[in-house]
Amino acid sequence: MFSIIIPTCNRNDFLRKCLDCLDPKVQTISSIDYEVIVTDDSNDNIAKNLTQEFYPWVKWVEGPKHGPAANRNNGAKHAITEWLVFIDDDCLPDNHLINQYFDALKSNPQIDVFEGCIKADRDCRSFNEESPINETGGYLWSCNFMIKKGLFDEIHGFDEGFPSAAVEDVELAYRIQKTCKKIEFVKNAFVVHPWRTQKNIYDVTMQRFKSVLYFLSKHPEQLQKINAKYYLHMVWSETGFLFTRSFKYKFRGFFGKVIYIILHFYFALYFTFNRNKVNNI
């Protein structure tokens, strides 16, 4: 009934913890009701030996080596069930995860997309830490959601044209919304996403901005929401966050956050002084 798709690339340490949580001996649903697909984007296919030796119930497939979006699409192509559940390799699925999706499906048979909950493993300790927390819904992050395979194929899955591993899940959610399909949030279908330290703030933030511009090139109507005002609001809120949390975090990651704020001010200026260019994206 369910195909759990886990894209991975050179992260066997994370992958092992994720797969341990999806073991049929751990999940509270029969093993005949789900399959686990690991789609491996590493150059040496390093997850193959791992799954064959320790997780024989996992279906390993070679990835296309073209980034996370293509890797997720690749996993979907190998799925044999009606429902796709996307989970990232650095997440820790709750042992009731699949059962909760099953119950949500029974209660809402008319729904084609279910958004799972994402929790952090602890409180944040530094400005440089990141975790895609989603405890109330409304985001459809790629590390925990379920979609009917027929709909996923119909909208052609994740867009593989994004210049970096960012925003492709936002763009997928937007295309789903344009089909007028309702997305149901399932609070109890959750994964734990540990905090990760982001070291290359400048490079990562600039890459994400390029992905935003690509998103806008596909959906220019979203310029009404993503514009100079949007980024100025982020500068304001992040500056306030910086001052209110600095002592709590003991100034850990302080300068990284300053760089982040400066870059978002630059993005606001970009939209302000490149209106013609932006409007013709």
Question: How far apart are the C-alpha atoms of 249 and 251, rounded to whole Å?
Answer: 5
Q: What is the pLDDT along the chain (281 residues), one digit of tens a residue?
A: 999 999 999 999 999 999 999 999 999 999 999 999 999 999 888 999 999 999 999 999 999 999 999 999 999 999 999 999 999 999 999 999 999 999 999 999 999 999 999 999 999 999 999 999 999 999 999 999 999 999 999 999 999 999 998 999 999 999 999 999 999 999 999 999 999 999 899 999 999 999 999 999 999 999 999 999 999 999 999 999 999 999 999 999 999 999 999 999 999 999 998 766 655 55
**pLDDT score for 199:** 87
Q: Which residues make beta-bridge pairs with 197?
A: 129
Give CATH for domain 2-197: 3.90.550.10
Q: Which residues make beta-bridge pairs with 115?
A: 145, 185
**pLDDT score for 43:** 86
- Which stretch of DSSP H or E encloses residue 35? strand 34-40
Ranges of each domain in the chain: 2-197, 201-279
pTM of the model: 0.94
- Using only C-alpha atoms, the chain has a radius of gyration, in whole angstroms, of 20
Residue at 104: amino acid letter:
A
DSSP state of 219: -
The CA-based angle 215-254-237, given to 5 degrees, is: 50
Give me 67's structure tokens.
């980034």
What 3-state class would DSSP assign to 86? Answer: strand
